[in-house]
Structure 1
Amino acid sequence: MSGYGGYPARPADLYPIQRGIVDFSGVPERHEELLEELARNIADPFVGLTSDGRPRPELYPLEPSELDTTDAADAARAFLTTLSPDQHQRARLPIDSEQFRAWINAFPPEQPHGVLLEDLDPEQRAGAMDVLGALLSDRGFQQVRDMMRINAALADVAGGYDDTLREYLYWFAIFGDPEPGSPWGVQMFGHHSCLQIFVYDGHITIGPQFLGAEPRVVLDGPWAGIRAFDEELALGVDLMAGLAAPLQERALLAASMIRAELPPELAHPTEGRMRGSATKDNAVIPYEGVSGGEMDEASRERLVALLSWYVGRLPEGHAERRLAQVLEHLDDTWFAWVGDVDVDRPFYYKVHSPVIFIELDAHAGIFIANDEAEPFHIHNIVRVPNGNDYGRAYLAAIRATASEPATARAGSAS
């Protein structure tokens, strides 16, 4: 198979990529800006995505948790015991390492941190997957695995990238110490599947999480039948289509998905309409569209259904606690749209509150030669705004508590 959706594949020698590493000196000009954005993002001190440049305090109290994360910590420690000394050195980083932010949903310009799952033996790879499986719901884990398999299926569609478009061409790392009472984290990233997960004694927060698929539906080969984002697309259309006409008009940022017809902030050369993607840890994105507080009860229920689906990537118990946190801000949860209100047409939507940020966008082709967005190439990101991507707000709270004098802690507890 070569090409998809009536479009041919782009030339097999268009991108100078070898085993997932891209030589940016040889990529098309429209991709060069991404390299600069990657460098700037890591150089800038972390603030977090905000609506006005000022993180809101006290959104993420680190309260005692009755939930259990010991299975995940056990899996992480078991995985680490399977590694050679050299692998162990590359797979372990401090919990506050800036490398936690050094992820990309495409292909890095140089050898990144972490161990490459492709290079691990089957036992080691299974151990890494066990760690992710313990930190995601069954559905969330299956979705991540589907994205990895779609990446392998894309090799047949694109042609010429067999050493890069592979099921396990993803970098994996453990941050911190997966021990009781210690904050730690997990990262896996590569083409169209990127997870940054922070864990601390009954708390799990995932963000940024990036999932993507080109193509969205696998038609042939060993992974034929895999479908990505059916619910995310359908729930978004249901919400937009169900809004009262005046609210739908206000939610619509632009009716067209054609790049030349969009304002610059909705026509990035590689990110399309997305403003919170890989290089945008400190993005300032104002609220826009319509808020949950303006919606009627039926639309609010549809908004809750959409939020619940995304939060449901977390394990049982953790998902319910996260949803409760998100619903505290339902009146201040903003919804915006670009494009057609049709699940078979390209569109973009954004859900933005003080504690959750979601974007889903149809994209132009990278390996498939569609120059405008099509619904068979989807990008999706979920962030934790106001400073808790990478669990940074939680980590600050842990360290602040640890630095308090014992008498002060005793007094605050009384």
Structure 2
Amino acid sequence: MAFELMQESLSAKGLQLSKDIMKTDHTPAELNSRPDIFSEELYFFTIMGTPSLSEPWGWQIDGHHLVINYFVLGDQVVMSPVFMGGEPIITTSGKYEGNTLFQDEQNMGLQFMQTLNEEHRMKATLNNEKKHNNNQAEAFKDNLILEFEGLPMAEIPKNQQEILLDLIDQYISNMKEGHQEIKMEEIKKHIDQTWFAWVGSIEEDAVFYYRIHSPVVLIEFDHQGVVGVPNVERRGPTRNHIHTVVRTPNGNDYGKDLLKQHLESSHKN
């Protein structure tokens, strides 16, 4: 029943990705002989409120490398915050050998950076070296306020903006198609207020981090350090461990109490 609700809420692509992420958690259980801490079934499903045609409600799936928060009010939905990740990214042994995650998010991000001219790449680049994990908006960052950094999209040609929009849609298209179209229209209206930031190099085998940030969406992609794959000499960032985040920016995706904030700041005795 939980998967049926996810199927109604997500696109076919988004549902398959969610299931593949869960499958990936079986592999570190095999590699480390620790089914107690890694498992494709070690995920928790929560209904928030009472499902209704007119009143607000929602659902959440929560576990290692997959957290989706899905809010519903009538025919309106907000799918945020969303955390998706995986290690290993390409499974080479065991029950789910061949299972593969986030290749489009990785390759399309690198290709966009490679299309920029030198001036724009320099503006986008926060650091040429990727030495550690760079995600800013993961767990324990409730109502995060994050400054815009990197390259403003208002400075690049329309054809390159379209390439970035295709990359953004790779994340937004995990929603059901109609809601995905509505969200993408909102994002397109703010393309000139959208910023792209990068950490790392741009070689074909590079490890990197990128962030797409506008008034209406915050997306992060990060190659992470080794955690769940044993007997690996290099412990720094690797293409075999990826975290992605989709948030609603400016601190509005964890139910901030705006009235309380206003009263505390404007009506002090």
Normalising by the residue count of structure 2, what TM-score does the alignment of the two structures yield?
Answer: 0.91
Counterparts of 1:372 and 1:333, CA distance in 2:
30
**Which of residues 166, 169, 173 in structure 2 aligns to 1:312?**
173
**1:380 has 2:241 as partner:** no
Give the partner amino acid of 2:16: Q
Match of 1:371 in 2: 235
Counterparts of 1:306 and 1:183, CA distance in 2:
31
Query: Could you tell me how far 1:130 is from its partner in structure 2?
Result: 1.0
Q: Does the CA contact (< 8 Å) of 2:127 and 2:199 recur in 1?
A: yes
- Over 3 Å counting, the alpha-carbon distance change for 1:190 and 1:339 in structure 2 is same
- Over 3 Å counting, the alpha-carbon distance change for 1:355 and 1:255 in structure 2 is same
Q: Does the CA contact (< 8 Å) of 1:147 and 1:193 recur in 2?
A: yes
Counterparts of 1:388 and 1:310, CA distance in 2:
19
Query: Could you tell me how far 1:242 is from its partner in structure 2?
Result: 0.5
Instruction: Provide the aligned length of Structure 1 versus Structure 2.
Output: 256
Counterparts of 2:158 and 2:147, CA distance in 1:
25
Gaps of 5+ in 1: 1-126, 260-271, 398-414
Match of 1:128 in 2: 2
Q: Which has a greater percent of helix?
A: 1
Counterparts of 2:43 and 2:258, CA distance in 1:
29
Counterparts of 2:131 and 2:165, CA distance in 1:
30
Query: Could you tell me how far 1:343 is from its partner in structure 2?
Result: 4.8
**Correspondence list, 1:86-101, <5 A:** none
Match of 1:138 in 2: 12
**1:160 has 2:36 as partner:** no
Query: Could you tell me how far 1:168 is from its partner in structure 2?
Result: 1.1
Counterparts of 2:4 and 2:204, CA distance in 1:
34
Match of 1:299 in 2: 160
What fraction of aligned residue pairs are identical, expressed as a percent?
Answer: 33
Structure with greater Cα Rg: 1
Query: Could you tell me how far 1:164 is from its partner in structure 2?
Result: 2.2
Counterparts of 2:18 and 2:203, CA distance in 1:
25
Give the partner amino acid of 1:360: F
Gaps of 5+ in 2: 260-269
Match of 2:104 in 1: 231
Counterparts of 1:343 and 1:129, CA distance in 2:
37
RMSD: 1.7
**Which of residues 183, 186, 199 in structure 1 aligns to 2:59?**
186
Query: Could you tell me how far 1:176 is from its partner in structure 2?
Result: 0.6
**Which of residues 6, 19, 23 in structure 2 aligns to 1:149?**
23
Match of 2:93 in 1: 220
